[in-house]
Amino acid sequence: MYVLVTYDVSTIDKEGRKRLRQIAKICLNYGQRVQNSVFELLVDPAQWAECKAKLLEAYKPEEDSMRFYYLGANWHRRVEHAGAKPGVDISGPLII
């Protein structure tokens, strides 16, 4: 399945900046960064459960917020990109 993860992490203090880095790192391990705090993840349900648990462990509910959008298996027709830095289609041919 395809999951879109977005977050807002408070960065006024040092702790917050640390959380921001941690959360970004977790997302990077599971998917690709499409915008600064927006990630697209191609995961199976087990991997998603793992990733979600890590994310919910790392964030601070009083100050930060996380949003998960479930795009399902037919996500190709639900995602459109315009402008610079187009993402990579992880299920398409990967040739570099």
Partner 1 sequence: MKKHLNTLFVTTEGAYLKKDGQAVVVSIEKQNRLRLPLHNLDGIVCLGNIMCSPALMGACARAGVSISFLTPYGGFIAAVNGYSPGNVLLRREQYRRADDPDSTLHIARHFVSAKIANSRSVLLRAARDSRDAESKSALQSTAKLMMRNIRAARNATTLDSLRGTEGESANTYFSVFNQMMSNRVKGMEFTFRSRRPPLDRINALLSFLYSMLTHDARSACEATGLDAAVGFLHRDRPGRPGLSLDLIEEFRAFLADRLVLSLLNRKQIQARDFDVTESGAVLLKEKPRKEVLAAYQKRKQDVITHPFLNEKTTVGLLVHLQARLLARYLRGDIDDYPPFVWR
What residues form the annotated binding site? 8
Q: Are the C-beta atoms of residues 71 and 78 closer than 8 Å to each other?
A: yes
Element containing residue 39 per DSSP (H, E): strand 38-42
The least distance separating partner 1 from the CB of residue 70, rounded to whole angstroms, comes to 18
Complex with partner 1: residue 82 or 94, whichever CB lies closer: 94
Residues that bind partner 1 (CB under 8 A): 25, 28-33, 42-44, 47, 88, 90-96
DSSP bridge partners of 7: 66
The least distance separating partner 1 from the CB of residue 21, rounded to whole angstroms, comes to 12
Q: Are the C-beta atoms of residues 4 and 40 closer than 8 Å to each other?
A: yes
CA separation for the pair 73, 36 (Å, rounded): 24
CA separation for the pair 74, 66 (Å, rounded): 23
The least distance separating partner 1 from the CB of residue 12, rounded to whole angstroms, comes to 27
Complex with partner 1: residue 42 or 66, whichever CB lies closer: 42
Complex with partner 1: residue 62 or 74, whichever CB lies closer: 74
Binding-site residue numbers for Mg(2+) are: 8
